[in-house]
Chain A
């Protein structure tokens, strides 16, 4: 948060030259802003450090400091390390020398894979792969040209070496020494990028840059923001989703120690005090009569009945090959099954939090967000300002998982700052967070398949029903009558060699806000598709892995990860009392197979090991890929074993970690991650591994018990 460059101190017109162009070769809509960003405060003596803005991501100081503006949020997935590595590789500097700040809102920082400044969809490296290397290479070429000019030679005879330019005669100039001259040069339109064999940093083991600050308590998360004069707020939100306060008796609360204000906000009643604990204590002393706003009839049974009813309708077609309906009618044998999935909470360990500092003509927002521009817009709307008057300062995120794509914490913080005239940090309790999430959507799906007389699988039909997240979060993005692509992941890309395939989806809203949850619909649909593939194998009297292998003959990347995982797991030789289950999937451009090994003791499932083979194309940081695979598996395992949000009378029933159970160290299986070498473009790694866990574990449970689990969580089923 400590900016080396005080942006407010830049006088208008300090950007003496502004050169904006589209990078030709990159093709990713790269916009470079080049100029002399005089960052020194007016009146500062000459000779002091100057910061030169080389491009949107890179500042070089005349003192040889190099700063990377990280335009993706660091929520544990490693962008704070991987992204500067990409730029440094081409710039020609040890990435560990680079200081990192989080970028403000800006057009240059839009995620090309999404079209907005968003960290999500396992896109960060995929979007940055060419973009940031190109930006690094362009800056390098300009620094080379500036140094060559100084030496009266040609750039082609010079080279870069860890932050310096070296002349053909061995003379050296640091980046800082020539940065100012370099910034005045034209940005090269075409730059050559290194061949992978020449990579010095990309694909090599490199420790994370955020680790030191995360082992001594110094990393600043949203909850840690402190501003001069700041007050603290706790928020009473309607216990019924979508409810409103009818009447508020705040007399007792106002009399409590430290309480300064009680503010009626658009999302509940905020108590603002000198400390958060005082605010929270006083919040609990508010006497509020709530109006359920018509959501009192919302409950699990009604949600499921609604989904089942909607499932009778024809769906919107996401994938069609051949004629699955006709093939099913003609089939010698048909297998059909129904699957259902519950609502889930994200449960980021850092609850939702936002600090707003609203003044007459500007607002500073300090927030752990995955969506900077949306946060800016939400604050502007609440403040009555224009978006450009809101400065968004992104902190480290205490978990993201899709939860922080939501901007629901912002308005109340801004409104509290407005009412008090002070900076206000609004923090939700764990209970607030669990009961006011944007939940992973529930689903009710039917799967049907047909075999011919020779036992060949000739038809696959997946009929999905559930709500669209995208339609709510990005209004207009899912036109009526069109398929939401984020509802048919791991379904529309059905990989098996079957001549007649039909995948369709019935949109059905369930009466509460649903949100993006790590791996989004992959986790729903992979459970259905890969469980049902297991059912088909069993019904055909085949081994589930062999059954899949035979149908993946034309899919070399699927086949390879499956074979690697099977070999490593010793699939054919399980130990006594241990059982294996398999799942495969492609998601985010990454191919993956998992083999889960379980046993059952007294009806309780013990997951001993999960082997995961991954082909995610070229990698930037192999250690982070492994960490993300493990992380995603643990996240998926919590959901598979216990994850379930129940709603009764419009109220979410779970509140904290005692009734929303998550994996702890004692529950951990051994996770083995196997990288399959690949020179394909990078795939996403933050999410896909989450989706395979439930089907792999449930398929292992079938192997152990001959019981097919067609709903989650596993804990809901009596297995004894």
Chain B
């Protein structure tokens, strides 16, 4: 039995510690918002936060998580109220939407570290996330918009 903290709740899971965190989140805990795309940390669809840092859960053994806090798309906000989610809705970023959980987790980690990112900051933080629908132009605009929304907060 392993215990990991996911979205603020301790979860005990009976899995091989070598199991990638992605599959524990999806199949064992039932949080399917985090997606499988490549299994090799190439596409970013599986991005979650580990103590606020974006990581690729497809290539992170669950046994290596330890006491770090895991945040998934389901835990980003209870009501789509995170500035990144609000900006994503305002600009209608998603198309098929499959990559968007990962995009949003990468973008929210970027903004937490860099509240007013430049285009170069965005390139660096987001280049690990593939979108086959090509929503990149709106992703860039929505990150800038989310920075504004976050800045507007009292």
Contacts and interface: CB of A to CB of B under 8 A. Distances in A.
B33 interface: yes
A349 B100 contact: no
A635 B137 contact: no
Interface in A72-114: 74-78
Given A76-B133, A214-B97, A631-B134, A208 B40 contact: no
Give the interface centre of B28, B130, B133 by most chain A CB atoms within 10 Å. Answer: B133
B27 A349 contact: no
B81 to A, nearest CB: 10
A635 B136 CA distance: 12
Interface string B81-111: 0000100110011111111110010000000
Interface stretch (A380-388, A398-406, A443-451): A398-406
Contacts of A74: 96
B45 interface: yes
B150 interface: no
Contact of B135 (A347, A627, A658, A662): A627
B106 to A, nearest CB: 10
A634 interface: yes
Nearest to A347: B132
A627 B88 contact: no
A690 to B, nearest CB: 10
B7 to A, nearest CB: 11
Contacts of B16: 257
Contacts of A631: 95, 133-135
Give the interface centre of A77, A213, A224, A349 by most chain B CB atoms within 10 Å. Answer: A349
B37 interface: yes
B31 interface: yes
A220 B132 CA distance: 18
A623 B97 CA distance: 16
A360 interface: no
Interface string A58-81: 000000000000000011111000
Contacts of B6: none
Interface in A690-720: none
Given A401-B132, A633-B134, A665-B140, A223 B32 contact: yes
A215 B23 contact: no
B12 interface: no
A77 B95 contact: yes
Nearest to A663: B134
Interface string B43-80: 10100000000000000000000000000111011001
A665 B95 contact: no
A668 B92 contact: no
Contacts of A226: 30, 32
Contact of B74 (A217, A349, A627, A662): A217
A48 B149 CA distance: 43
A429 B36 CA distance: 9
Contacts of B95: 76-78, 627-628, 631
A213 B97 CA distance: 9
B68 to A, nearest CB: 20
B116 interface: no
Contact of A349 (B45, B80, B88, B127): B45
Interface string A211-242: 11111111111011010000010000000000
B82 to A, nearest CB: 9
B30 A350 contact: no
A215 B134 contact: no
Interface in A413-454: 427, 429-431
A219 B98 CA distance: 9
Interface residues of chain A: helix, strand, loop or mixed (majority): loop
Give the interface centre of A78, A232, A275 by most chain B CB atoms within 10 Å. Answer: A275
Nearest to B126: A665
Contact of B123 (A277, A347, A349, A665): A665
Contacts of B45: 349
Contact of B136 (A218, A219, A223, A634): A634
Interface in A644-699: 656-658, 662-666, 668, 670-671
A402 to B, nearest CB: 12
A163 interface: no
B16 to A, nearest CB: 7
B64 to A, nearest CB: 15
Contact of A76 (B31, B73, B74, B97): B97
A329 B36 CA distance: 58
Interface string B7-28: 0000000011001100100111
B92 A627 contact: yes
Nearest to B40: A656
Contacts of B94: 76, 208, 210-211, 214-215
B36 A207 contact: no
A61 to B, nearest CB: 26
A349 B92 contact: no
A656 B40 CA distance: 8
B80 A212 contact: yes
Contacts of A630: 134-135, 137-138
Contact of A217 (B72, B128, B131): B72
24 contacts: A76-B133, A210-B97, A211-B89, A216-B74, A223-B36, A232-B27, A275-B15, A276-B23, A276-B27, A277-B20, A277-B23, A348-B132, A349-B37, A398-B98, A399-B132, A401-B132, A430-B40, A430-B43, A630-B137, A631-B95, A634-B133, A656-B42, A657-B40, A664-B136
Interface of A: 74-78, 207-208, 210-221, 223-224, 226, 232, 257, 275-277, 347-351, 396-401, 427, 429-431, 623, 627-628, 630-635, 656-658, 662-666, 668, 670-671
Given A223-B36, A275-B23, A630-B134, 20 more contacts: A76-B97, A78-B95, A210-B94, A211-B89, A213-B97, A215-B104, A217-B31, A221-B35, A275-B19, A276-B26, A347-B132, A348-B98, A350-B37, A350-B96, A351-B37, A623-B92, A634-B136, A665-B127, A665-B140, A666-B123
Nearest 3 Cβ contacts at the A-B interface: A217-B33, A634-B134, A398-B98
Interface of B: 15-16, 19-20, 23, 26-28, 30-40, 42-43, 45, 72-74, 76-77, 80, 85, 88-89, 92-101, 104, 122-123, 126-140
